A and B are shown apart, each in its own frame.
Chain A
Amino acid sequence: MSIKTVRNLRRFSQIVFFVIFFWLILKTTFEVHFTPANAAEIQLPYPVSVALEFDPLVAFSTLLATGALFKGLLWSLVILIPTIFLGRFFCGWVCPMGSFNHWVSEIRAAKGVASNARKIKSNRYGKYQRIKYYILFLFLAAAYFGSLQIGLLDPLSLLARSIGTAVLPTIHTAALELLGWVKGLGVPILATGAQSAYDVTASLLLPYRQAHFHGILIIGGFFLVILILNRMITRFWCRAICPLGAMLGLFSRWTLFGLQKDEATCNHCNQCLIACQGADGPDVGSVWRQPECHLCLNCQAVCPESSLKFKFYPQQTVTTANPAGTQKIDVSRRMVMTSLAAGVALVPLLRSGDAFEVNSDPRLIRPPGSLSESEFLARCIRCGQCMRVCPNNALHPTLLQASAEGIWSPVLIPRIGYCEPTCTLCGQVCPTGAIAELTLTRKVGNETVPPNRIGTAFIDRGRCLPWAMAIPCIVCEEWCPTSPKAVYFAEETAIDRKKNEVKVKRPSIDPELCTGCGACEYACPVTDRAAIYVTSVGESRSTRNQLLLKTRNLSRPPSRTA
């Protein structure tokens, strides 16, 4: 097989893996025509978060944080083990974020003598490429002490989050606006055409309903900046920032596969440098740095003299003008120790403030089945899959609501969407178990099993129509899904301004029954700030954040395990 064919194979592989990744995100939704095997306990038909389970960085960092590999994360060995033999093939052939960066770097890039000269310069190895290792060490140290921050920069989490909460919803809004605009022109043929075009787009890309996510501008903007940087330095993200690339670079320490340079035939045309993705020094005369190489094989493919060859057990002619290659990463021991120490210090720094458990935001309502806050933060990789799959658009990325430690972790905003009582999709798609997968019984409870609670509802009597304004309403009680209803009412006689007697039903909450689903807050007709609202107190995941004194049934013997 010629090297050109192999390079085309690599291009094909990049497209395939990108399409798979994108398709899995598209499928992270409850489709309108989806008929599950069991309508009582709806399970998604595909393992939609499987791409994230192949991520060695997610696997390793959650292993450090929790001491265990969760569920499908063992799949990450499929990436990691070949890396030990080959090097960073993942970055050049598989990673959808890497491919995206690759395409943005190369598409309609300037050609010609001046831009070639610029590329030759910028594609030489630079010290800035060491940043990613320091980021990696910092995050891994923090993970070991229980704070998983890796998801902010892990490429697969970042891409899933950016596409799921920013890119696709933006496309949805744009498509709807465009459709409305064309229809507004009042030309029937155009309107029909636009509707058909929209229907095709919707069936391919869009979920049943437009999702609106809280504060996505920062997520979308961050993603955009990463893409734009590619236009200045090819694959800047992959070279300088990506902690997964850094980890795979570390695992390239004893590879058997590498670049063989033939000094004798090289004419120093620098074509290899112009085409290089990883800035790893493919040219004769530079140190070839295996941990930086994405194995894209461009250098070999463009070399007019066939002086460069990737092969197992490569041999190199080493002269004073052509130094030996290296499998070591270019970092000093001192800087490694410093970044590790910074990671260790980061955790108490983040948690010494009041936001973590001491004075947490009462509106920090986590998805149903979420683990206790410290365990949650040891697992959540901010991939946004729970937000994307939520059929009610109830889950949103936080910014600082869960303290700086919980940036972009999920929060339930009942005013936008409540937690559908029989739905367990967020736990199903969570790749790291930050949200435990609940059965229907564990979600809604029965005579012996308590329901999963995410908070408790409270009534704002100053805004409630029957309480404050002598107007009948009781929508909260109507919507309350528990049986018997946690919202109950007393029929009372209110006096209105004209001294008329008005019979109203005034709602109250039974905290023993309320699960905090937020249906009442969602439905409350006081449109701007609801007269009934949920706060996190009473959530099943916390022993501290409780409202009611626990009482024990004395007719039963005390349980031995308690």
Chain B
Amino acid sequence: MDRRDFIKTTGKTLAFAAATTAAGVLFHNRRVAGVEPIVLKTTDFTVPTEKSLPQIALARNTDHIAALHASLDAVGGIKRFIRKGDRVTIKPNIGWDRTPEQGADTNPVLVGEMARLCLAAGAALVIVTDIPCNEPRRCFLRSGIRAEAEKAGAKVILPLEEDYVRTVMGGQVLDVWPVLKYFVQTDKLINMPITKHHSLSNFTGSMKNFYGILGGRRSQLHQKIDQSIVELATFSKPTLTVVDCTRVMLRGGPTGGSLDDVAIENSVICATDLVAADSRASEFLGLTGEQVGHIALADKSGLGKLDYRSVGYKEIT
């Protein structure tokens, strides 16, 4: 080995050793950036209040579509809420793998008609979606909502893991949660709950319906159920709330299953004050707003009025 070879060979080895050492030192204790939550702006989909109109109207009719029309017209009609070119998301309750008669999911006929009304009012796109508890394909199918909504021309979207966005909700219980993007990235949000019994909150209606916009392990929210419901409703701010009180599950909620537990009430509530809507709807279960923790709490927090008569309640029979 001559000198040149010696220097070359040894040089390579030393350089390799130096580079390895440098890499170790360079990465030592380096701070790795965590996942940044995607911050979404507040989601206020409401329209300006109009003093002349009632904020809640209830219509009773065995023809459920007629009941929807009557109560909607009483609060200002579809044109008040939907503008030409709006992207609209309708949020029914499609929580469980049940059929319409069992009254666990929103009446599909009402969902279909609502989609039709939005499109007729010029909506560019109507999306119908929810995050069910049970298997989504079965829930969307057996609730009848997929078929009715598609028939009406709406786009029915089943939730996918990729479609959640980490959302800052700014609540005491709800800080940052994954939310299905269609409920925050839209122009108008129509809340279409069903009225029914719930074993922990006693009552499920328009505020509790927003559990269905959340991904993650939302069942942990039961530990602070009233607070989390109010925070969710405060965050979501829907354009309009349409409460299905056509079939009301009185016991065994929220899943039910037995037709003996379902009362036929043939009523539809349209409201811009969802606390008032829940307060009125809870009467179908023989309750008053004061008896339902989250309604009382929402009233206290100023989200809406428990005394629904104070916001111009109208009843059409």
Which residues of A are at the interface with B, using a C-beta cutoff of 8 A? 30-32, 34-36, 39-40, 42, 176, 179, 208-210, 391-392, 420-423, 465, 471-475, 477-485, 489, 505, 519, 523-525, 527
Contact sample, A vs B, 5 pairs, CB 8 Å cutoff: A32-B158, A208-B158, A489-B199, A519-B134, A523-B133
Indicate if B50 sits at the interface (CB-CB under 8 A).
no
Most interface-central of A478, A519, A524 (chain B CB within 10 A)? A478
CB distance from B251 to the nearest CB of A (A): 8
Please pick, from B160, B161, B257, the residue contacting A481 in the complex, using a CB distance under 8 A. B257
CB of A420 within 8 A of CB of B99, answer: no
Q: Is the interface of B mostly helix, strand, loop or mixed?
A: loop
| Given known contacts A209-B161, A525-B222, A478 and B199 CB-to-CB distance under 8 angstroms | yes
Residues of B within 8 A of A208 (CB): 136-137, 158, 160
B241-262 contacts to A (CB < 8 Å):
252, 254-258, 261
B111-145 contacts to A (CB < 8 Å):
133-138, 141-142, 144
Q: How far does the alpha carbon of A145 sit from the alpha carbon of B97 in the complex, in Å?
A: 42
CB of A423 within 8 A of CB of B135, answer: yes
| Given known contacts A489-B199, A505-B200, A525-B217, A483 and B258 CB-to-CB distance under 8 angstroms | yes
Indicate if B219 sits at the interface (CB-CB under 8 A).
yes
CB distance from B204 to the nearest CB of A (A): 10
Q: How far does the alpha carbon of A272 sit from the alpha carbon of B199 in the complex, in Å?
A: 76
| Given known contacts A39-B144, A525-B217, A474 and B137 CB-to-CB distance under 8 angstroms | no
CB distance from A446 to the nearest CB of B (A): 11
Please pick, from A421, A523, A527, the residue contacting B97 in the complex, using a CB distance under 8 A. A421
Indicate if B198 sits at the interface (CB-CB under 8 A).
yes
Q: How far does the alpha carbon of A527 sit from the alpha carbon of B223 in the complex, in Å?
A: 14
How many of B's residues come within 8 Å of A, CB to CB? Answer: 33
B189-216 contacts to A (CB < 8 Å):
198-200
Please pick, from B99, B133, B142, the residue contacting A479 in the complex, using a CB distance under 8 A. B133
CB of A475 within 8 A of CB of B225, answer: no
Q: Is the interface of A mostly helix, strand, loop or mixed?
A: loop
CB of B257 within 8 A of CB of A483, answer: yes
Q: How far does the alpha carbon of A34 sit from the alpha carbon of B136 in the complex, in Å?
A: 13
Please pick, from A391, A472, A505, the residue contacting B137 in the complex, using a CB distance under 8 A. A391
Residues of A within 8 A of B147 (CB): 35, 39
Q: Which residue of A lies closest to B259 (CB)?
A: A483
Q: Which residue of B lies closest to A180 (CB)?
A: B162
> Which 3 residue pairs of A and B lie closest in terms of their CB atoms, listed nearest first?
A483-B257, A483-B258, A475-B219
| Given known contacts A483-B258, A505-B200, A471 and B133 CB-to-CB distance under 8 angstroms | no
| Given known contacts A32-B158, A35-B147, A420-B97, A471 and B223 CB-to-CB distance under 8 angstroms | yes
Q: How far does the alpha carbon of A34 sit from the alpha carbon of B142 in the complex, in Å?
A: 12
Q: How far does the alpha carbon of A30 sit from the alpha carbon of B220 in the complex, in Å?
A: 29
| Given known contacts A478-B200, A481-B257, A483-B261, A40 and B99 CB-to-CB distance under 8 angstroms | yes
CB of A484 within 8 A of CB of B258, answer: yes
CB of A420 within 8 A of CB of B198, answer: no
CB distance from A110 to the nearest CB of B (A): 36
CB of B138 within 8 A of CB of A391, answer: yes
CB of A472 within 8 A of CB of B257, answer: no
Please pick, from A209, A482, A505, A525, the residue contacting B199 in the complex, using a CB distance under 8 A. A505
Residues of A within 8 A of B97 (CB): 420-422, 481
Q: How far does the alpha carbon of A474 sit from the alpha carbon of B256 in the complex, in Å?
A: 15
| Given known contacts A420-B135, A423-B135, A465 and B223 CB-to-CB distance under 8 angstroms | yes
CB of B220 within 8 A of CB of A176, answer: no
Residues of A within 8 A of B134 (CB): 420, 481, 519
B139-191 contacts to A (CB < 8 Å):
141-142, 144, 147, 158, 160-162
Q: How far does the alpha carbon of A391 sit from the alpha carbon of B255 in the complex, in Å?
A: 19
B216-237 contacts to A (CB < 8 Å):
217, 219-220, 222-223, 225
CB of A391 within 8 A of CB of B261, answer: no
Residues of A within 8 A of B223 (CB): 465, 471-473, 525
Residues of A within 8 A of B222 (CB): 472-475, 478, 525
Residues of B within 8 A of A391 (CB): 135, 137-138
Q: Which residue of A lies closest to B254 (CB)?
A: A478
Q: How far does the alpha carbon of A40 sit from the alpha carbon of B258 in the complex, in Å?
A: 15
| Given known contacts A392-B135, A465-B223, A472-B200, A42 and B141 CB-to-CB distance under 8 angstroms | yes
Q: How far does the alpha carbon of A318 sit from the alpha carbon of B176 in the complex, in Å?
A: 84
Q: How far does the alpha carbon of A482 sit from the alpha carbon of B252 in the complex, in Å?
A: 9
Residues of A within 8 A of B199 (CB): 474, 477-478, 489, 505
Q: How far does the alpha carbon of A210 sit from the alpha carbon of B255 in the complex, in Å?
A: 26
CB of A35 within 8 A of CB of B135, answer: no
Residues of A within 8 A of B219 (CB): 475, 478, 523-525
Residues of B within 8 A of A477 (CB): 199
CB of A422 within 8 A of CB of B220, answer: no
CB of B257 within 8 A of CB of A482, answer: yes
CB distance from B316 to the nearest CB of A (A): 33
Please pick, from B135, B142, B254, the residue contacting A40 in the complex, using a CB distance under 8 A. B142
